Chains A and B, each alone.
Chain A
Amino acid sequence: GDSVTQMEGPVTLSEEAFLTINCTYTATGYPSLFWYVQYPGEGLQLLLKATKADDKGSNKGFEATYRKETTSFHLEKGSVQVSDSAVYFCAWETSGSRLTFGEGTQLTVNP
């Protein structure tokens, strides 16, 4: 069935390290893909999105490219900061405007 598989956490990095969080999806057609971020005690916020193959979403130094051939949408950042510590969710949009979420990856960045 339709699903999102997200890299398991938690992930702990030092400040200025390179970040990759893997995400692959199983879906029919070409869904829109999203990364959401959840800071402690808050709701989810949209981080970036891509709506078609080869699109690159970017925001706050984070990037993700919609790879149709590998059905992936991996999140990357070249130099993480302590303030990036949060839970990151990959999601894709099904028919009927419904989102399917991955299980989330907890990122902790140490100074």
Chain B
Amino acid sequence: NAGVTQTPKFRILKIGQSMTLQCAQDMNHNYMYWYRQDPGMGLKLIYYSVGAGITDKGEVPNGYNVSRSTTEDFPLRLELAAPSQTSVYFCASRQSNQPQHFGDGTRLSIL
């Protein structure tokens, strides 16, 4: 039972490059979330989705995009990487009235 799988685990980007962080869950959860965690800080919500085809902005959506074409996958897209986006990114999923399950994170550095 894989749970929430994030790829890659680590990545270094140059300023202005683009990339997609992948997130997949095999628990048939409707809700999925993307957070960023900056050093010494709690998690900030970037985007979330309550089901396939539906996405909404969280607290810090600027510079990111998401899509939810299937229940299983919720990729996060950075179009023009900036140093301020250096962070650890966590994906999570949940079913109604159940706690969120988190992936192991993607550590992203932008130089």
Task: Provide the bound-state CA to CA distance between A45 and B90, in Å.
Answer: 12
CA distance A101 to B100 in the complex (A): 13
Contacts of A97 in B (CB 8 A): 31, 48, 50, 94, 96
- Where chain A touches its partner, the secondary structure class is strand
- The size bracket of the interface on B is 20 to 34
Please report the total number of A residues contacting B with Cβ < 8 Å: 20
Expressed in whole angstroms, the Cα–Cα distance for A97 and B92 within the complex equals 12
Tell me, in angstroms, the Cα distance from A20 to B23 when the chains sit together: 35
Contact of A104 among B41, B56, B58 (CB under 8 A): B41
Could you list 15 A-B pairs, sorted by A, with CB under 8 Å?
A6-B42, A34-B99, A42-B105, A43-B105, A44-B90, A44-B92, A44-B102, A89-B42, A96-B48, A98-B45, A98-B58, A99-B43, A101-B43, A101-B44, A103-B40
Residues of A bordering B, CB below 8 Å: 4, 6, 34, 36, 41-46, 49, 89, 96-99, 101-104
